[in-house]
Structure 1
Amino acid sequence: MASPQQHSRILRVGLVQDGRILEERHLLKPGDFTVGQDPKNSLVLPLPDLPASFPVFEYRANQYNLVFNEDMHGRVDLGSSDVDFQTLRTQGMAMQRGDQYVLPLQESARGLVELDKDLRLFFQFVRPPLESEKPRLPPDLQGGSWRSMDRMFLGILAASLLLHFSGAAIIIASEPPPEPELSLDELPDRFARVLMPPKPEEPRKQTADTAQAAAPTEDKPRSSDSDEKPAADTSSKPASAEEAAARRAEVAKKVSGKGLLKILGSAGGGGGGAFSDVLGGSTGGGEIAQALAGAGGVGIATEASVGANGPRGGGSGKVAGIGELGTSGGGKVDLGSKKEVEVSGRVSAATPEVESSDVDREALARYIKARLKAIQGCYERELKRNPHLKGKVMVRFSIMPSGRTGEIEIEENTLGNDAVASCIRTVVRGWVFPFKPDDEVPVAYPFVFTPAG
């Protein structure tokens, strides 16, 4: 046995103009059907004679009712008779409810409601369409996944994927380039310092045995030729006194033109040379040159070597270390530490120029004066380089409705220093003012810089 819902009918409503169906609705779910100018209506019609919303069909007690008023015209086919709205009103076939009339509709009823001169609304009850009865497009017109795709986009995507995967395959298949081996000379210094740290110095160990072995057995002057031919110097002796005197004279002539003896004027005449000028002529340069003529080298005296050969000139003595040496005379010398010279400057600000009543001029001046330390820092940084730097900088900026600083411009700069102006622009850009003007407010503010002291 079939259920009652399978035999029930649904209301079909259509809008007709000049014999053409403009719009059609099937009320699959029972409910009211309203028309009017309100967008919430079931059918929106911009007609001046209709109210904002009028329920033409209302669903009450599992039945549809036709609702109309005295100004509306139309006809209804009740199955047994075809009557108009005037007959329904006069014969009492429609129930009056205020200024409206309500007519219960059976499933066999159908009719026509005139909304305007050329606009009509027709209704009838029809069977609900089954799933198999739904209209379908022909197979040629039915869309699919392939037909819904964008052909151009799909072609570009395929070409891009092919290009990228081909490049990746070529890179993977190719052999990596050989890495050249760099020699130590070709390495940069920063790598050389890391790879080859300096060799730490070996601790010097001096013992009495090594000191005695390193010390010379005889206290004789050394020359540069002593390492190459020590035996020739010790064994060769002048054959006579004249040959020894000639050799000494030749050595004195060679030595006098080099090093300290040349400066002291050992080869000079009777004037004594530079040394005579320094000492004021009290001591002749010739005597000093004669005293230094026999110095052939410099030797290191150790306690062991002195103890082995004995002190010269009789008596007893020993070699003193640096720690055993004392000083006398002058006071304590304080080397101190390097200190940076303190430079300070003064910044004075005049009354700002404000072109709007939304910003209090005095409050703005107090706000900026509280932040003059940052402006003073910009000036003192350049004052260290130029102690005579002074002048005036006029800054023009704007206060935005958010309180932030807008466009900043250096209108005047008599300092002649762009670094100070750039620093001031950076400081002003970070200010957030307590004002919230309705529109952008331009402000001009002068800063006067002078050195302090």
Structure 2
Amino acid sequence: MTQQHPHPTPSRPGQPGQMTAVMRAVAPVTGPKVLRIGLVQGGKVIEERVIKQRTHVSIGPSEKSMFVIPSKSIPPSFRLFELVGGEYFLNFLDGMTGRVAFKAGVSELSALKSSAKRVTVGNAQAYQVQLSEEARGKIVVGETTFLFQFVAPPPVQPKPQLPVSVKSGIANDIDWTTTIIAAFSFLFHFGAVGSIYSDWMDPVVDDEVDVAALLESVKQLPPPPVVEQPKENVEAPAATAAPTAEAPKAASGGGNKGAAASAGKGSGGMSDARASALTNELAQLDMQMLGALNSSGNATASVLSSGDVPTGLLENAAASGSGVGKGGVAGLNMGGAGGGTVRPGAAGGGGLATIGNTGTSGPATAGSAQQVKGPVGNAQVGGAAVSGGSVSNAPSVVAGMTAGFRRCYNKGLQEDPSMKGSVRITAKIGPNGEVLSATPSGGSGLSGTVVSCVVARVQSAQFAPPEGGGATVVIPVTFVSQ
């Protein structure tokens, strides 16, 4: 199977090709021609440039020149082609060679010197020849050759533009109609809600006027009513009536009813003096009753000796200070004591002083308390062994620790009275006599609290600076309870 290749369609005679059609479609550029300059070095064209904008063309070793060439025979920037009044002029120096083709013919630069115009270009004197648009030629400057001619200006290239898909951004994708409607709707609703919660529509409040009106209203308030204090009815204390022969009748019930009736009269209040008088009368009645119970009759014999009568009445009567006299109260005999006031619990005499007497000569005691002491410990410190250096005051410092060791042991005996044992403390002494470390060994039978206390006491000790900068002291301690 053979592969068939499509044959190009031959163009008809007289029909232009595609490139020709494109070139013809481009509008020809009108206007003055521009320079086309080629730079040749070593027989090769290394640069070609069309001066689109009609301007001066400078050459030289300076970077400011349009064409930079390594030549020392020309100034740093020499105008080879100079534009004067819209026309180009060729400037050349004595060291330059070449030829120029004019409309009339070709001329060497050396032949043009006679007809050229002498001008000053920069700091150099040069020859100047006017060029027409048909002129072309070659100028040799050292090892560099410049070829020039006038050509029609190239068509103006259109400014490059981005594709429509790239130029269209977010703004082109926005539906502006909907966006504008939404924006106005938002502003309307926001303004409506803001006007509801704002106070710009409220009337202006004059604070000074309101404060003045408030002060005036306060001044016009009526004064507060006077609070009436209740008046107390103070009654004179009733005099205490002397005991008479009719006292037993009052004690039988008539007196109490009369006192209650008299207390119930009046406006309902009772003063302190009246209450004190009534209390005193009741105390006297209680004492009279006790006197009757202490009589020697058959009905009341040995009533108080059994101790069943409450003693609260006796204590109240004694506190009142009135007491009860011997006999004379409704014929009752209150005892065989001497004259004077008889008070419960008074020493000497009979009567109420002998109530509840059991015949003992003195108060009973519960015995004396004795304090029992706990075990006391003793700390025995052996001779301190010093090694690694001499410590002058080691024996005295170790002996001074005995009291501290004893306190540690006594604290341990409070927890375990049967505790006893021994421990060895190895102390390392620093260059200034301080205890760098204290390590216990042994300690059988001793609690950890006692051993820690002993180690802490050793660590707080201060020795004399040892010879040689350091030493080790071993302290044996034995604890025995007494």
Q: TM-score, normalised by structure 1?
A: 0.31
* Higher Cα radius of gyration: 2
Q: TM-score, normalised by structure 2?
A: 0.29
